[in-house]
């Protein structure tokens, strides 16, 4: 156990009346919601990068955090791992997520970086065994180092494509070894800064082929987790190819991958793309590609990715409502790809931010479940479309046949209230 | 000839030094650009709706224009047609576009509305013959009347679906009769105001089936034009299903229509979706679904669709550059789906706005052609990807094979300048 | 009593467990919060325009609502008033707000319009007396008619300026007669579409002079209410002069009005200007110009003014928190300048939307009061600035004197945690 | 002369037909425009920070540039200065701008940092003398170091306020010594991340007092340059107090500084605040506080500050049009606060980006001058307001007097066309 968090004991559920900042007021892992333990519904994961690797910088300022593990040695990496697993344990989060570069120091060659990774994977495996923590997903960071500045799988330089392929191979191996339940690809540099120097067609084809290789390798090594793409419209690039759920769907269809790959949807990325979070979830469910979520919000009024912890229960409830309507998570879960604000300097802030986020999710989940069990919303939805029950035939005919019917029957449809405010009031009974 | 425009003669090309507000300074229809007449490149179309049916209202104010044809009679409709074809002739625009509701008065039944439409189609056919004007595309307005408030093909009420099918049938008939080169669907109400009352899955399936019926009917009647979808992300709806080019592509793939349907891309809609106009065009070309354009810009800083005439030559040049790179228009053209500002009250304003827009497009086209003929941009693009010439093998192998190669060869890619500013400077030689 | 709402009885408070859609679950007028009745805190007002004059149109579609009072006669106006006061009574909202054009038919001359207004004012006065309803504020609609298309007080045409002055005079008279507690100016056309035809300097000076005339007239007639400006950044205009609270403050200072005029802040307008609602309220309090609020939200992801009923309790709570921190309303109140969604066709929807909004506000108010009474947030705020207690002298000296001290004392400030997440968690105990 | 740029000779004007990427095609310093040399109109400045101190990082990736002067020693700082003045000379830009932290290494105490600054100022003075380059403005970086994370003048910790005061003192001294023509304050951390921990009122008062101390110190040391505030709405902070020109104006009025302080307007910041660049310039001129510009554009579709070199002539022309209408620069100039794209790695890219920017500005200036000399736009503007010539009396009377006149004269104003498109077409004759 590291000294970083002092003698803070594992966070306990104390109920809504507690004013202990280091207690859960709503997240009660064993509480049963719709027949399942809350922990098994939410499947919380803590991310390694923002919590342990990020230094608090922004485009106008450098490091604000002062962590004993900052530095580039294997010893630093091990101390970081000690603190991280300590935090997972204190929070009681069952899962975590990582990038390769979060857990291992960069070596002076690809081979050395790989050896560093393997050594750390061994350590992580041991820590998982000791603490009972599990890996929700692994991923490769192919955007921070300058070698990726013009893309990874979509790079104009084939050597970068190769380096990316080799990197993903090592990260998939690591994920397999750690029993990861998913493998995620976020293509922060798979896009462009300017169309003027970009061959859109080639870049899309290379990205399609790359993803097929990922799927082929998954099967080769017997990885049974799900491959997930995380959509984001832009930032760091001016335009990213995995813009949103609909775009990723078209991409998967184009390259024959719609049965092999799903999406990891982040609230902040949904918003940057002009969508609500619940829209992206509902659409992924409708298209059959829903996988997992990154439950970190964006400030609606900041045009960049603020990656804040969730704090608005009504919004979170609508997201879980769509997740529950779709049957809940299978391999996916609720990852906090969330940054502390860079002024939140203290170790305690790390815990408090997660506690708040987990409580907000727990409230959202319970509200969503109650809305579903109540049934009023779903009854209203069904009633609105009930006219189709006897009219499926309209879908099996032709424009001119329908035309004849409209004219002969004098069809003159009358609008009916959409009752949006009434439905919103129903939601407000639960959130 | 109507009296509306007084004795204004057809607009002539007078060259860049003219300061006659009623002359073209750049649009010279017979001038040859890259081996083709400018008129045949640009294929200008004038829209019927904003020019002749829109009254100048906005969400906070009513009619500002005062046109002698406002009113709901067939006589009004005929006067409107007189003025419209007069304007087409004065401008020398070879094409126009229409919705059903622009050209005919609403009847008191579907059958009567259809008869009104048919009568006007006969009149339009006669006017086309007299003036040599042609129809670029026809379309149905299935968003203004209150019957469409909850969608057309995606309406919860099957009677509205039927009404929509019958309506499109009549509009396709009209388009065929008028020799239209395309038929467009813009789904301003195909979307939702709130997810709470929406069955996303059913609505998408109905829209997919509807579009298949459109394609089936096209073949049945021998319409040889192209079916086009016009993407727009939102407004009037909170979310529209035809969000952007990438979304429409996924939709077409889902419903097996990618070889039958293309896109009509509007600059203003591209911007509302977070894309540049040239991005949407380049993407449509890459995906094989580029059709036509609506060359009306949005104010980047107004969050609604301002539908302004184009006035920024550098932007327009980049759009035509992508069009020319893709081989130019086939059935498509340059439609001005553009509104006068509502304070631009005078008949002359209608002409001046189009003259300005046509000149801006002519300059953009000429600049685009010069950039292509110069070749520096394309040379730079090819050079950037030249490394792939001997490395296609990377695409035919596997992650682990590539991994072996990266390790054994010690591949360590070095970034090369993307030269964005140098390329932008090259563009600025031409615009 | 009109027949419009059938036999719906006045809405009663039934408590949080009620599932009656026509009952309050949180708004309990007589419940005491921080020593004051809830009704006296919230001071709810219902707007006349969106509820009774708006027909459900948007930029892409016309009327959806079907109200028996639509039409232009005095009889229509009286029926509208009957239904309106009926609704005020059913809702138990103590206040309402109006524009001149909402309540009276347009005449064929200014004099006739004024007579119509006066007749309706008499009727309203009588209805107020009968029902106990009061006027929170009156205002003039100087944006809908085409005469205002280029501005009212800022119009290039002095006759429009004159017409505006005369109009405001009649509306201030009406407001005085009806015992209004405020008079509001919203300048939807006081701005520009293009700088190219605009004399910014003259327009600002005319607007400054106009507002001074308003204040002079207020004193002349003994109107004791407050004059309020409602900021909005744009829409309908591309740019509006009353952009946001900070801009209005600078305008008031420039024209010597900062002690005479305050602001009516709308949530939707705050958002369009890039601010949170609570920011605008807090800033107005800091600058001493806080007046009243329009409690209608905008969709964060629609770039136009959606004017929706509030439905997010955490957001509303933060707004009331700033209002309570500033001492609460004096002449101001909580106006719903909110539109039904245009698909919400039924009379009941009008009631349900207001009930939902009033309940959300009541929850927000109670949460805000509890946070203030709890004191943890204010304690934390004070503690963060406590270092200044002994350092006020720094404000009374000079850069060079401070420089000497920094050097001689070796001042080297150490950052302290801003604790944002901890504070957000505290808020989440109450919302 | 440093080796960094190899043997590149000073950039020459070669005229519009040149295709030499290292020549000016439009910027011809000695060419006379409206009676003044182009160099004296434009007053170009190159910024030290983005060109020489920025390493190419973004929120998702680290250093991409590889410069021989990166490092923290005085030797590095001197090499950086050599290259910088070399670049100023090659470009022929008459001015540059700096922050303290760009030019000197951070010391281990404030005193040491000050000594480092002083040593570098001596070197810069010598280089200015050798090369004839001048200082447009100096400024202090009070946002990058972690000590500033919660603000400088607005920090909750008085020691940070003191450190800020001492820092500005040293930077004003440096600016005076280097003959700077302005001193700029940009308050990137003067704002907040969350209202919950912020005392808005105190922070504004402290900022007001701080700025008064700056003005007092200016007079004390005999600095005759102008004090400028650079507005920006947000980023890095969620909200910054110097939001836009209108906000800064209100702030200056509140603290009695409107005659002492002006604004430095950046195109990118204007856009982030929802304004056009020309709006901010025109408004600053109308309010009498126009100072200088940062001529670096934002991508309209990226929600963060992209700080790109200008490349759109029509937009730049409208900005210079407003500058020329206001009489041109006095102490201000055209600073490129512009970043290379982080993929533009080569030394040549630094030159090419500036050459392109300078050419675009030269074209914009010439177009603006031609529009002014042509006079058509100003004639149209005057004509639009001409009705006021005989109606100034309306401004000296009262609402009720005007009311009488409207009624008695039956005033019924008729709208006139705003002619926006016609005016836009006139602009397009010149750009
Ligand atoms: Co993110
Ligand atoms: Co994420
Ligand atoms: Co449009
Ligand atoms: Co269009
Ligand atoms: Co509003
Ligand atoms: Co309002
Ligand atoms: Co900037
Ligand atoms: Co700047």
Task: Encode pLDDT of A266-304 as tens digits.
Answer: 999 999 999 999 999 999 999 999 999 999 999 999 999
3-state secondary structure A326-366: CCCCCCCCEEECCCCCCCCCCHHHHHHHHHHHHHHHHHHHH
The helix (run of H) or strand (run of E) holding residue D36 is strand D36-37
Distance B283 CA to ligand 3 centre (A): 19
Peptide bond into B236 cis (omega under 30): yes
* Contact call for D61 and A143, based on CB within 8 A: yes
Catalytic entry in A26, A41, A50, A99: A99
Distance CA A314, CA A300 (A): 15
* Contact call for A278 and B195, based on CB within 8 A: yes
Pick left, alpha or beta for residue D274 (phi over 0 → left; psi -120 to 50 → alpha; otherwise beta): left
B25 at D interface, C-beta within 8 A: yes
CA angle C23, C24, C28 (to 5 degrees): 135
**Chain B residues within 8 A of A195 when measuring between CB atoms:** 276, 278-279, 282, 318, 322
The pLDDT of residue C1 is 57
Distance CA A308, CA A171 (A): 26
- Would you give per-residue pLDDT tens digits along chain B (431 residues)? 578 999 999 999 999 999 999 999 999 999 999 999 999 999 999 999 999 999 999 999 999 999 999 999 999 999 999 999 999 999 999 999 999 999 999 999 999 999 999 999 999 999 999 999 999 999 999 999 999 999 999 999 999 999 999 999 999 999 999 999 999 999 999 999 999 999 999 999 999 999 999 999 999 999 999 999 999 999 999 999 999 999 999 999 999 999 999 999 999 999 999 999 999 999 999 999 999 999 999 999 999 999 999 999 999 999 999 999 999 999 999 999 999 999 999 999 999 999 999 999 999 999 999 999 999 999 999 999 999 999 999 999 999 999 999 999 999 999 999 999 999 999 999 99
> Among partner residues A62, A193, A303, which is closest to D146 by beta-carbon distance?
A62
Cβ contacts of residue B352 below 8 Å, gap of 6+? B21, B22, D421, D422, D425
Distance CA C66, CA B149 (A): 14
Report the residue of D413, D420, D421, D422 to disrupt the C interface, i.e. the one with the largest count of C CBs within 10 Å. Answer: D413
Chain D contacts in chain C segment 261-290 (CB below 8 A): 273-276, 278-279, 282-283, 285-287
CB atoms within 10 A of CB D82: 17
Query: Helix crossing, B110-131 with B158-177: angle to 10°?
Result: 20
**Chain A residues within 8 A of B403 when measuring between CB atoms:** 165-166, 169-170
Nearest in space to D242 (alpha carbons), one of D226, D259, D230 = D230
Q: Two tokens at C113?
A: 């319009």
For the stretch B135-166, what's the b/e string if a residue is b when 16 or more beta carbons lie within 10 angstroms of its beta carbon? bbbbbbbbbbbbbbbbbbbbbbbbbbbbbbbb
Q: Two tokens at A272?
A: 């940057």
* Contact call for D146 and A194, based on CB within 8 A: no
ipTM above 0.90 for this complex: yes
Query: Which chain A residue is nearest to residue B193, measuring alpha carbons?
Result: A420
**Mean of pLDDT over chain A:** 97
| Fold topology of C27-374 | TIM Barrel (3.20.20)
Distance C12 CA to ligand 5 centre (A): 29
> Among partner residues D381, D402, D406, which is closest to C199 by beta-carbon distance?
D381
The pLDDT of residue A336 is 98
Distance CA C175, CA C96 (A): 12
Nearest in space to D279 (alpha carbons), one of C195, B211, C327 = C195
C-alpha torsion sign, points D116, D122, D126, D129: positive
Nearest in space to D269 (alpha carbons), one of C71, B257, A60 = A60
The pLDDT of residue D1 is 57
Nearest in space to B366 (alpha carbons), one of B414, B294, B316 = B316
The bound ligand whose nearest atom lies closest to the alpha carbon of B292 is 4
Q: Binding-site residues of A for Mg(2+), please?
A: 230, 266, 269, 294, 305, 307, 337
Nearest in space to C296 (alpha carbons), one of C31, C46, C7 = C46
C-alpha torsion sign, points A142, A146, A147, A153: positive
* Contact call for B421 and D21, based on CB within 8 A: no
Distance D298 CA to ligand 1 centre (A): 21
Query: Which chain C residue is nearest to residue D194, measuring alpha carbons?
Result: C420
Specify the 3-state DSSP secondary structure of D53. helix
The pLDDT of residue D2 is 73
Which phi and psi (to 5°) does residue D73 adopt? -95, 165
Distance CA C96, CA C116 (A): 20
For the stretch B333-356, what's the b/e string if a residue is b when 16 or more beta carbons lie within 10 angstroms of its beta carbon? bbbbbbbbbbbbbebbbbbbbbbb
Contact indicator for D145, D185 with CB cutoff of 8 Å = no
**For strand D261-266 and strand C23-24, is the pairing parallel, antiparallel, or unpaired?**
unpaired
Cβ contacts of residue C393 below 8 Å, gap of 6+? none
Query: Which chain C residue is nearest to residue B301, measuring alpha carbons?
Result: C238
* Contact call for C149 and B303, based on CB within 8 A: no
Cβ contacts of residue D7 below 8 Å, gap of 6+? none
Query: DSSP readout, B217-274?
Result: HHHHHT--SEEEE---SSSSSSEESS-SHHHHHHHHHHTT-TTTEEEEEEHHHHHHTT
Task: Encode pLDDT of A195-224 as tens digits.
Answer: 999 999 999 999 999 999 999 999 999 999
Q: Two tokens at A176?
A: 């397999």
* B404 annotated to a ligand binding site: no
CATH number of B12-374: 3.20.20.150
The bound ligand whose nearest atom lies closest to the alpha carbon of D233 is 7
* C348 annotated to a ligand binding site: no
Q: Two tokens at C274?
A: 């890039």
* Contact call for A159 and B213, based on CB within 8 A: no
Specify the 3-state DSSP secondary structure of B405. helix
* D130 annotated to a ligand binding site: no
**Chain A residues within 8 A of C309 when measuring between CB atoms:** 421, 424
Chain C, chain D: beta-carbon pairs less than 8 Å apart: 278
First to last CA, chain C: 38
A406 at B interface, C-beta within 8 A: yes
The pLDDT of residue A2 is 74
Contact indicator for B108, A412 with CB cutoff of 8 Å = no
Distance CA B161, CA C144 (A): 35
Contact indicator for A281, A317 with CB cutoff of 8 Å = no
Cβ contacts of residue C264 below 8 Å, gap of 6+? C137, C182, C184, C186, C228, C229, C230, C291, C292, C293, C294, C332, C335
- Catalytic residue positions of D, numbered: 99, 102
Distance B297 CA to ligand 4 centre (A): 10
Distance B303 CA to ligand 5 centre (A): 14
Specify the 3-state DSSP secondary structure of B339. coil
* Contact call for B303 and C302, based on CB within 8 A: yes
* Contact call for B341 and C64, based on CB within 8 A: no
pLDDT value at A1 more than 80: no
Chain C contacts in chain D segment 326-365 (CB below 8 A): none
The pLDDT of residue C2 is 74
Q: Two tokens at C388?
A: 């200044």
> Among partner residues C64, C146, C341, which is closest to B62 by beta-carbon distance?
C146
The pLDDT of residue A35 is 97
**Chain D residues within 8 A of A144 when measuring between CB atoms:** 60-62
> Residue ranges of chain D with pLDDT lower than 70?
1
* B337 annotated to a ligand binding site: yes
Nearest in space to C274 (alpha carbons), one of A300, B153, D325 = A300
- Catalytic residue positions of C, numbered: 99, 102
D421 at B interface, C-beta within 8 A: yes
* C379 annotated to a ligand binding site: no
Distance CA C296, CA A89 (A): 44
Residues flanking ion ligand 8, Cβ below 5 Å: D 266, 294, 337
B375 at D interface, C-beta within 8 A: no
Nearest in space to D16 (alpha carbons), one of D29, D25, D7, D8 = D25
A299 at B interface, C-beta within 8 A: no
The pLDDT of residue B2 is 74
**Chain C residues within 8 A of B342 when measuring between CB atoms:** 149
The domain spans of chain A are 12-374, 379-427
> Residue ranges of chain C with pLDDT lower than 70?
1
Q: Two tokens at D222?
A: 């005999």
> Among partner residues A25, A415, A417, which is closest to C349 by beta-carbon distance?
A417
* C266 annotated to a ligand binding site: yes
The bound ligand whose nearest atom lies closest to the alpha carbon of C337 is 6
The pLDDT of residue C135 is 98
Cβ contacts of residue C211 below 8 Å, gap of 6+? C153, C185, C227, C229, C255, C257, C261
> Among partner residues B64, B272, B305, which is closest to C146 by beta-carbon distance?
B64
The bound ligand whose nearest atom lies closest to the alpha carbon of B186 is 4
């Amino acid at each position: 156990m590291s000294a970083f968090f002092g003698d803070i004991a594992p966070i306990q559920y104390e109920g809504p009346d507690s004013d202990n900042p280091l207690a859960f007021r709503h997240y009660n892992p064993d509480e049963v919601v719709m027949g399942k333990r809350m922990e098994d519904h939410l499947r919380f994961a803590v991310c390694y990068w923002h919590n342990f690797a990020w230094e608090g910088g922004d485009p106008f300022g450098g490091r604000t955090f002062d962590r004993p593990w900052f530095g580039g040695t294997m010893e630093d990496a091990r101390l970081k791992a000690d603190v991280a697993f300590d935090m997972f344990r204190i929070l009681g989060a069952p899962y975590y997520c990582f990038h390769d570069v979060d857990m291992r120091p960069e070596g002076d060659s690809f081979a050395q970086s790989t050896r560093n990774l393997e050594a750390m994977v061994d350590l992580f495996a041991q820590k998982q065994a000791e603490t009972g923590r599990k890996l929700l997903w692994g991923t490769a960071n192919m955007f921070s180092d300058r070698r990726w500045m013009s893309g990874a799988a979509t790079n104009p330089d084939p050597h970068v494509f190769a380096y990316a392929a080799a990197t993903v191979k090592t990260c998939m191996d690591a994920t397999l070894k750690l029993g990861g339940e998913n493998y995620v690809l976020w293509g922060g540099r798979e896009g462009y800064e300017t169309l003027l120097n970009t061959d859109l067609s080639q870049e899309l084809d290379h990205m399609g082929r790359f993803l097929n290789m990922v799927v082929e390798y998954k099967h080769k090594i017997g990885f049974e987790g799900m491959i997930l793409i995380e959509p984001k419209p832009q930032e760091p690039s001016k335009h990213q190819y995995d813009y949103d759920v609909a775009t990723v769907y078209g991409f998967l269809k184009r390259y024959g991958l719609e049965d092999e790959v799903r999406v990891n949807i982040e609230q902040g990325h949904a918003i940057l793309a002009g969508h609500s979070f619940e829209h992206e979830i509902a659409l992924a469910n409708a298209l059959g590609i829903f996988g997992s979520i990154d439950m970190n919000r964006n400030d609606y009024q900041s045009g960049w990715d603020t990656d804040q912890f969730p704090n608005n229960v009504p919004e979170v409830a609508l997201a879980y409502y769509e997740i529950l309507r779709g049957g809940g998570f299978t391999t996916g879960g609720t990852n906090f790809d969330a940054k502390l604000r860079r002024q939140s300097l203290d170790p305690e802030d790390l815990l408090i931010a997660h506690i708040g986020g987990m409580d907000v999710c727990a409230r959202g989940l319970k509200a969503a479940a109650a809305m579903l069990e109540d049934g009023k919303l779903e009854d209203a939805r069904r009633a609105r479309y009930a006219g189709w029950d006897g009219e499926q035939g309209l879908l099996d005919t032709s424009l001119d046949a329908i035309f004849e019917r409209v004219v002969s029957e004098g069809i003159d449809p009358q609008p009916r209230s959409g009752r949006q405010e009434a439905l919103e009031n129903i939601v407000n009974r639960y959130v």
